Chain A
Amino acid sequence: MIFSAPLVYSLLMVVVASILLLLEGKWKFVCTFFFVYLTAGFFFDFVKNLDIGTSGTIILASLFLMYRIMPACAVLYYVITTTKVNEFLACMSRMHVSNKVTIPLIVMIRFFPTVYDESRAIGNAMRMRGIRLFSLRTLKSPVAFLEYRLVPLLVSVTKIGDELSIAAVTRGLSAETKRTCVATIGFRWVDAVVIAYCVAVVLFYVIPGLTGNLPSV
């Protein structure tokens, strides 16, 4: 089964993420996000009707990423920027989610920017030595290109990972007792309002009789 809700529901969900980000004073991010989101949504149908072959598919896929995946990324950005790692762990622990799921998840979310930064730095170093993706040398030996780009990235990422696990163990992440947290974590009426709104939007999508007034864009 593939999920593909109409754009109007995505817009209804985007409003929640935008309000939450505005409350945190991130108006610059919200403005840029809305500009990119609405521009991508506006140009999507236009490019789709052009029918320009493979390049059209690549542009469409990029636009699709912008207006379908970006809302989820905005929520992720809100979670990452406003939640400290220890609070996230304590929160998950309160929700009875096992550490075996929480730790890889938080490490993975936090690691995407690191992978990007490391890869960019290695890319710059390789360009200085004339190793590029679009060159005759790469065409002749693609495995060598893979080796030059992938091995330094893996070495650097593995070392960062080892340091991270040492830091985590030092801070008592491996302790088998129940964790305590200084921050007060709880489920308040604001959380209930946000969840009720999100559930209502999903219900409007799932139950066909309720969607009478909403356009199926």
Chain B
Amino acid sequence: MRTTGKKSSNTLVRDLVNVGIFGALYLVLSGLGASIGFIPAFIVVSTCIVSLVTSVPLFLFFSKVERPLLCCVLLCMLFGIVMTVSGHGISFGLLCVIYGVLAGLCLKLFHKNFVGCLLANVMISFVPSSMMIPLWSSTEEYLAYCSSICDKAYIAHLAELSSSYWPLIGLFGFGAAGAVVGGFIARRMMKKHFERIGLAQ
């Protein structure tokens, strides 16, 4: 029986394994959700789909980890590393870490209750939304990069989006809205399935 306030190193390993597992799941699900963005009309809404799809696994992840700050930072950092290796800039990796810290702090401050989980989910929903920031921060470079993988009509649509800042606000807004709606769905699913079989508290 533990008598000190220090957490056991066994729980640290369990947390780290959970980060790896949910990191893999988050990557796969966000990739699937974001693929809807290949349809030009759905580019802005794709972040909402990603947040909706990833909310349930993230809520389960939040309920399972004992060190929320460390685990959220590591989850976002892993996502950032994979994205940096696959061609996104280092600045995106740094942004991921910042979102991870904010998500972890939300969980820590609200003691992993529903509001804390919801806020953390919103923070993590900004990660996929930030992937398109270069379209506004370095427009020409991003369009040149996209022109090597997309057809002309898609590039024209992207150029049209980059002319105003409203689509960027839309990306973040839809992402956050998806995270909030996804959070309520996740709470229902947690009560209906995971808490009943003892997978979450």
Q: Which residues of chain A have a CB within 8 Å of any CB of chain B?
A: 1-4, 48, 50-54, 56-58, 60-61, 64, 68-69, 72, 99-101, 103-108, 110-112, 115, 143, 146-147, 150-151, 153-155, 157-162, 164-165, 168-169, 173-176
Contacts and interface: CB of A to CB of B under 8 A. Distances in A.
Question: Which of A64, A107, A159 counts the most chain B CB atoms within 10 A?
Answer: A107
Contacts of B60: 154, 158
B87 interface: yes
B21 interface: yes
Interface in B9-42: 9-10, 12-14, 16-21, 23-25, 27-28, 38-40
Given A3-B87, A103-B17, A115-B24, A174 B10 contact: yes
B150 A2 contact: no
Contact of A103 (B20, B89, B138, B153): B20
B142 interface: yes
Contacts of A176: 9
A58 B38 contact: yes
A158 B63 CA distance: 12
Given A48-B151, A61-B150, A164 B17 contact: yes
Contacts of A147: 189
Given A104-B16, A154-B56, A159-B199, 18 more contacts: A1-B90, A2-B87, A2-B89, A2-B134, A4-B148, A54-B40, A57-B154, A68-B87, A100-B16, A100-B74, A104-B19, A104-B75, A112-B28, A147-B189, A161-B18, A161-B21, A165-B17, A168-B13
A128 B19 CA distance: 33
A159 B145 CA distance: 41
Q: Closest 3 CB pairs between A and B?
A: A107-B20, A1-B89, A104-B20
Interface in B39-92: 39-40, 52-53, 56-57, 60, 64, 70, 74-75, 77-78, 81, 85-91
A208 to B, nearest CB: 16
Nearest to B74: A104
B193 interface: yes
